[in-house]
Structure 1
Amino acid sequence: MLWVDKYRPRTLDKVMVHTEEAQRLKNLIAQGDCPHLLFYGPTGAGKKTLIMALLREMYGVSAEKVKVENKPWKVEVGARKIELELTTVSSNHHVELNPSDAGFQDRYVVQLIIKEMAKNRPLDVVGNKGFKVLVLNEVDKLSKDAQHSLRRTMEKYSAACRLVLCCNSASKVIEAVRSRCLNIRINAPSRDEILDVLLFIAKKESLVLPPELAGRIVLQSNRNLRRAILCLEACRVQQYPFTKDQVVQTTDWEQFITEISNDILNEQSPKRLFLVRGKLYELLTNCIPPELILKRLLQELTKKLDSELKHEVCHWAAFYEHRLQLGQKAIFHLEAFVAKFMSIYKKFLIATFG
């Protein structure tokens, strides 16, 4: 078992964020009720951990007895029949899925599949909780049509189910959905909190963790607790006993993006753009989110830019990030950003060095 799962908090008290909304939620659960919920915050802050602790608090250990299904669905839309396949994680009390996996067909998932799930009462009723919980991930990636359908589902089936929504950015969720939920922000853990967790795990595993190595792991994690724990475990596999100057490994996809940024900076030409396009497509086919690719690529490129160029490059990165949200083919917008950067950088080099 990975340390991320082995040392994951199981109870609500250990993971509950200290906010007024969180305390109100805890009081409602103690009374046997629960509103629709929207958890939002950065990656690795602990949203999923909090949701699982919440389910355990409501339904006991049976909420952890889950099964994973890759279930096909046939949706009738007028005269057409659309076939969808979604992966669900479910227990007798809850169902977890990611509607945005259906792409532009996400509204059919919300309109029909979630409605069908919401109609069904839970198989086991614990105490006075006669409702099933639907956990929907990445709701900020749903289309506007799907989010409006989600609002109607929340209203119509509120007696039979509660929705727990999870996302990184609440600003991308429509107001009609947010206003029907208890909104709880999960802040990224501080560097000191991450360091405390790493030292705790090292102690439990009987490891001697040098402060210098721990500090570099914390710095590289970028306040992502999950990533910090995975880095620590990777360092343990790579070499033990630890040394204070031990290299903290980065992920393969991050190294690949660093290589792409070097390709872009070394040459600006149609031939190099074609080469970069192939590498970007390889990242996408390996399920790296396009927004993450763009953000990481921008970070790598700006490391080697003069201050006068950074503002313009960031402007165009934001422009194409917005285009990513509107379009369907991510490769077009990523390639367009690279082409725009090459144009800006080539003009700068010509103006500077002639």
Structure 2
Amino acid sequence: MLWVDKYRPHTLDKMVIHMEEAQNLKNLVSTGDCPHLLFYGPSGSGKKTLIMALLRELYGPSAERVKVENKPWKIEAGSRKIEVELTMVSSNFHVEMNPSDAGFQDRYVVQEVIKEMAKSRPLDIVSGNRKYKVLVLNEVDKLSKEAQHSLRRTMEKYSASCRLILCCNSASKVIEAVRSRCLSVRISAPSNEDVMSVLRHVAKKENLVLPSSLAGRIAHHSNRNLRRALLSFEACKVQQYPFTENQTVQTTDWELYIAEIAGEILSEQSPKRLFQIRQKLYELLVNCIPPEVVLKRLMLELMKKLDSELKHEVCHWAAYYEHRMQQGQKAIFHLEAFVAKFMSIYKKFLIAMFG
């Protein structure tokens, strides 16, 4: 078992990080009822861990007895019927799913699938006479606006038998109508000191000697993403043990690949090079690297080698195309548009500088 799963806290009492949020959730459960909840915060901050600890608080250890299934659904979409297959994680008390996996059909998933799940009551009520089932919906910020409006209606109609726990990275991408019907819980990214504290705790449990300098580099390299920090720590253990003070922290393949793409963009600005870059961006997307992450990382790699007078303009266009990406469906168009815009800006700068 990976350390990130092995040392995951299973109860709200054991939450070393986000203790205040855990205590607030515990107080909420003790009142006897639980509203719809919206957990939001950056990746690797602990949202899923808190949600699972909350479910255990609500229903006891049975909430952790889950099964994973790929379930096919036949859904009526207007005058036609469509088939959607979704991966679901479920127990007797909750169902966890990612409706945005259905793509442009996410509206029908929210209308039909969630409605069907909301109708069924928990099979085994053991804790506090709770007569509602919990639906955990991941990545709600990636749902279309139509799907989010459908979600709002579902929340109202089935509130007696169903509670929704929504999870996303950015609450600003969730419509106000949905946000206003939920109790929002902001989960901030852990500080570098918090990450180092968790790394030292895991090292102690594993009987490892972890140098402070290496713990600091792992924390810095993880960019306050606790999941990534633990995976990097385990990779360092596999790479070399005993640890050394100057041991390097491995960079992921996709980060190296984006750095390579940035170098190619800076070395040549032409339609031919743009076509080559497009193929490489496709490869990143096919390997499930989120387009927002690709755009942000690419911008950071380009900024490392730019003059200060260009940085503001490049940041402006990166934000512009990131916003357009959220509104559109085909991420590759917006990634390619950003690269083309950057090439245009950089080429003009080189011509002005060197003629």
Query: TM bucket by the smaller chain?
Result: over 0.9
Alignment match, 1:83: 83
Letter in 1 for 2:11: T
CA deviation map 1:29-87 (0-9, x unaligned): 12331111001111111000000000111111111110001111111123201111110
Aligned residue number for residue 279 of structure 1:
280
* Conserved 8 A contact 2:75-2:112: yes
SS in 2 for 1:222: coil
Q: For residues 256 and 289 of structure 1, what CA distance do their matches in structure 2 show?
A: 14
CA contact (8 A) 2:46 2:187 kept: yes
Q: What CA deviation, in whole Å up to 9, does each residue of 1:279-330 have, x standing for no partner?
A: 0000011111111100100010001111110111111111111111121111
Structure 1's unaligned 5+ residue stretches are none
- Indicate the residue corresponding to 1:118 in structure 2: 118
User: Structure 1-normalised TM-score?
Assistant: 0.97
Q: Distance in 2 between matches of 1:17 and 1:213?
A: 24
Q: Is 2:172 the partner of 1:171?
A: yes
- Distance (Å, rounded) in 2 between the aligned partners of 1:220 and 1:53: 28
- Cα distance in 2, alignment partners of residues 76 and 40 from structure 1: 31
Q: Please state whether the residue corresponding to 2:60 is helix, strand or coil.
A: helix
**How far apart are residue 211 of structure 1 and its match?**
1.3
How far apart, CA to CA, are the structure 2 residues paired with 1:25 and 1:188? 18
Per mean C-alpha deviation after superposition, the further-off stretch among 28-37 and 176-185 is 28-37
**One-letter amino acid matched to 2:61:** V
Q: Deviations over 1:220-246 (max 9, x none)?
A: 011111111110000000111111111
The question of 1:181 aligning with 2:182 is answered: yes
Structure 2 runs not aligned, ≥5 long:
none
2:108 — aligned with what? 108
Q: Distance between the aligned counterparts of 1:256 and 1:17, measured in 2?
A: 34
Match of 1:242 in 2: 243
Tell me by how many angstroms 1:22 deviates: 5.6
Coordinate RMSD, CA, aligned: 1.2
CA distance in 1, matches of 2:212, 2:315: 35
Report the count of equivalent residues: 353
Cross-structure match for 1:95:
95
2:107 is aligned with what amino acid? Answer: R
What is the rounded CA distance, in whole Å, between the counterparts of 2:200 and 2:187 in structure 1?
22
Contact 1:74 1:84 in 2 (8 A): yes
Task: Return 46-55 or 240-249, whichever deviates more.
Answer: 240-249
Shift of 1:125: 1.2
Contact 1:100 1:138 (C-alpha < 8 Å) held by counterparts: yes
- Cα distance in 1 for partners of 2:25, 2:276 equals 52
Q: Which residues of 2 match residues 296-335 of structure 1 at below 5 A?
A: 296-335=297-336
Query: Distance between the aligned counterparts of 1:77 and 1:165, measured in 2?
Result: 24
Cα drift, residue 153 of structure 1: 0.8
- Tell me the distance in 2 between the aligned counterparts of 1:91 and 1:55: 10
3-state DSSP class of the match of 1:122?
coil
2:204 aligns with 203
In the aligned structure 2, how far is the partner of 1:290 from the partner of 1:90?
29
Check conservation: 1:132, 1:162, Cα contact below 8 A: yes
Structure 2 distance, partners of 1:228, 1:298, is 22
Counterpart Cα distance in 2 of 1:27 and 1:326: 38
Instruction: Note closer, same or farther for the CA distance 1:50–1:102 as it changes in structure 2 (3 Å cut).
Output: same
Contact 2:25 2:54 in 1 (8 A): no
**Equivalent residue number for residue 233 of structure 1:** 234
Shift of the alpha carbon at 1:95?
0.1
Structure 2 contact 12–22 (Cα < 8 Å) conserved: no
Query: SS of the counterpart of 2:332?
Result: helix
Instruction: Give the drift of 1:154.
Output: 0.7
Query: What letter matches 1:133 in structure 2?
Result: V
Structure 1: distance between partners of 2:324 and 2:249 = 34
| Counterpart mapping for 1:123-202 below 5 A | 123-126=123-126, 127-202=128-203
**Cα distance in structure 1, aligned partners of 2:218 and 2:265:** 28
Greater CA drift, 270-279 or 24-33: 24-33
Distance 2:78 2:174 in 1: 28
Q: Secondary structure at the match of 2:134?
A: strand
Any idea what SS the aligned residue of 2:244 has? coil
Does residue 344 of the first structure (1) align with residue 345 of the second (2)? yes
CA distance in 2, matches of 1:17, 1:120: 33
3-state DSSP of counterpart to 2:306: coil
Change (3 A) 1:96 1:197: same
Determine the structure 1 residue equivalent to 2:49.
Answer: 49
Residues 100-124 of structure 1: per-residue CA shift (max 9 Å, x gap): 1111111101011100100111111
TM-score (norm 2): 0.97
